[in-house]
Chains A and B, each alone.
Chain A
Amino acid sequence: NAGVMQNPRHLVRRRGQEARLRCSPMKGHSHVYWYRQLPEEGLKFMVYLQKENIIDESGMPKERFSAEFPKEGPSILRIQQVVRGDSAAYFCASFTFEGLNTEAFFGQGTRLTVV
């Protein structure tokens, strides 16, 4: 079990381009979180997905950001028309829901730099 895989690890985009961040959950996990970590700050919740469903997107900006977790393949966090303020580390975590015993496993993150 390779754990949660995020790619790319580092991504550089010019202002106005699109950024696509991928997250392959652990085998057997059907739930995914995306979190954003701005420099010198903690992790902020963005979105919670099950396969083919968005459960909670209350932390995601209303414009330019979207996320999906298709039946097959990785979860994708998409940022359109990136701006400098989008520069951050984006972390994905996957888990199987087990009530109070639920444990989330995090990927190594994608560090997005907008130039």
Chain B
Amino acid sequence: AQSVTQLDSHVSVSEGTPVLLRCNYSSSYSPSLFWYVQHPNKGLQLLLKYTSAATLVKGINGFEAEFKKSETSFHLTKPSAHMSDAAEYFCVVNHYNTDKLIFGTGTRLQVFP
């Protein structure tokens, strides 16, 4: 069975400091992994995705994530936080045979000036 665990429900950082949002997955097969961002009262936007190519994936707005099979992790990082990064972030796993996206519970990122 597939599952996703987002280790932090809330993360607070100061503007200009690094961001780390943690995600661990469980999947019996090689998964596809995604990070989505949701701004308040908005829909979901795809930040980046891993689909068995390069293990370091670069996304939009300066975010990147590294797929580490040995650690079953897909942590999201950004070198320098911006106020506009404040949002809810979801780690998502999909094994294509199940045709279902499994969402983590989300991490709310707060950015302080």
Binds A, one of B16-24, B44-52, B56-64: B44-52
Residues of B within 8 A of A (CB-CB), count? 24
Q: Can you list, as one digit per residue, whether each of A33-49 has a CB less than 8 Å from chain B (1) or not (0)? A: 10100000111110010
Contacting residues, chain B, for A99 (C-beta < 8 A): 96
Once A100-B51, A100-B52, A103-B46 are accepted as A-B contacts, the answer to whether A93 and B101 lie under 8 Å apart by CB is yes
Count of A-B contacts judged by CB separation below 8 Å? 55
Q: Give the residue of A45, A56, A97, A106 whose beta carbon is less than 8 angstroms from that of B43.
A: A106
Given the known A-B contacts A56-B99, A91-B43, A100-B32, are A41 and B51 also in contact in the complex, defined by CB atoms under 8 Å? no
A42–B49 touching, CB < 8 Å: no
Instruction: Kindly provide the distance from the CB of B98 to the nearest chain A CB, expressed in whole angstroms.
Output: 8
For window 78-103 of B, CB contacts with A under 8 Å fall at 90, 94, 96, 99-103
- Which interface residue of A42, A55, A102, A104 has the most chain B CB atoms within 10 A? A42
Q: Quick check: B101 and A33 within 8 Å, CB to CB? A: yes
Q: What's the nearest-Cβ distance from chain A to residue B53, in Å?
A: 9
Residue of chain B at shortest CB distance from A35: B103
CB interface residues, A 83-115, toward B, < 8 Å: 91, 93, 97, 99-109, 111
A102 & B94 in contact (Cβ 8 Å cutoff):
yes
Chain A residue nearest to B107 (CB atoms) is A42
A9's nearest neighbour on chain B, judged by CB, is: B41
User: Known contacts being A107-B43, A109-B43, is A100 close to B96, with CB within 8 Å?
Assistant: yes
Bound complex: CA A45 to CA B101 (Å): 8
With A91-B43, A99-B96, A109-B43 known as contacts, the answer to whether A44 contacts B103 (CB < 8 A) is yes
Residue from B41, B45, B90, B100 in contact with A48 in the complex, judged by beta carbons closer than 8 Å = B100
Answer whether residue B105 sits at the interface, using C-beta atoms and an 8 A cutoff: yes
6 CB-based A-B contacts, threshold 8 Å: A43-B90, A55-B99, A103-B49, A107-B43, A108-B43, A109-B43
7 other contacts beyond A45-B103, A91-B43, A104-B101, with CB at 8 A cut-off? Answer: A33-B101, A41-B105, A55-B99, A102-B32, A102-B94, A103-B34, A107-B43
